[in-house]
Amino acid sequence: MLRGEPGVGKTSLLDAALEAALEAASGCRVLRTSGFESELPGAFAGLYGLCQPMLDGLDHLPPPQRDALQSAFGLAAGEPPNVFLIGLAVLGLLSDFGSAGPIVCVVDDAQWLDAESTQVVAFVARRLHAESLALFISIREPPSPTPSLACPSSASQACPTPTRADFCPR
């Protein structure tokens, strides 16, 4: 987890870490996403960016996980997605994708990930011990205030932004 103020070089450090990982492990594959302030209202937008290269593996998932992920990404109609099932589905995709070699996942500007993507990335991060996977996350601290336009709450309430605790609880 790289934390720092805007402009201190977090993305450059992520790029250097990624380059080192690619040099160290042959056959290493990269999954990368970035949070964007404009996508905060879009549930699972950041997660879709991370998972898009693995979507060919959807057929290998158990039906409830596959259906939840397809619904979350707008690939099929269905019930409102269950974050737990989506977390399990992403773990399944990562396991399948990782069977061909190690994976490096990069999440840049995590403070701008939508809440649902943050929950799933945190869920996956807590379970990395079972996979051949490295996860690099950059987050701006102190967190910038989230515009009220991006949050459906009332104007008197602050909209939460992801913090280190969302990804790495102590």
Q: Hey, CA dihedral for 22, 93, 1, 141, is it positive or negative? A: positive
**135 is in which domain, residue-wise?**
2-144
In a domain, 167, yes or no: no
Q: Please, what is the end-to-end C-alpha distance for the chain in angstroms? A: 14
pLDDT at site 54: 95
In a domain, 85, yes or no: yes
Confidence of residue 144 (pLDDT cuts 50, 70, 90): low
Contact 152, 115 (CB under 8 A): no
In a domain, 163, yes or no: no
Work out the average pLDDT over 18-22. 82
What is each CA distance from 116 to 161, 164, 165, in whole angstroms?
12, 16, 15
Question: Into how many domains does the chain fold?
Answer: 1
Percent of the chain predicted with pLDDT > 90: 44
The pTM score is 0.77
For the stretch 40-89, pLDDT in tens is 888 899 999 999 999 999 999 999 999 999 999 999 998 878 899 999 99
- Peptide bond preceding 142: is omega within 30 degrees of 0, i.e. cis? yes
Q: Which residues contact 167 (CB under 8 A, 6 or more apart)?
A: 1, 110, 118, 121, 122, 125, 137, 139
In a domain, 9, yes or no: yes
pLDDT at site 119: 95
pLDDT at site 83: 92
Contact 54, 94 (CB under 8 A): yes
In a domain, 166, yes or no: no
- Residue 31 is inside which H or E element, if any? strand 29-34
In a domain, 149, yes or no: no
In a domain, 46, yes or no: yes
Q: What CATH number is attached to the domain comprising 121?
A: 3.40.50.300
In a domain, 73, yes or no: yes
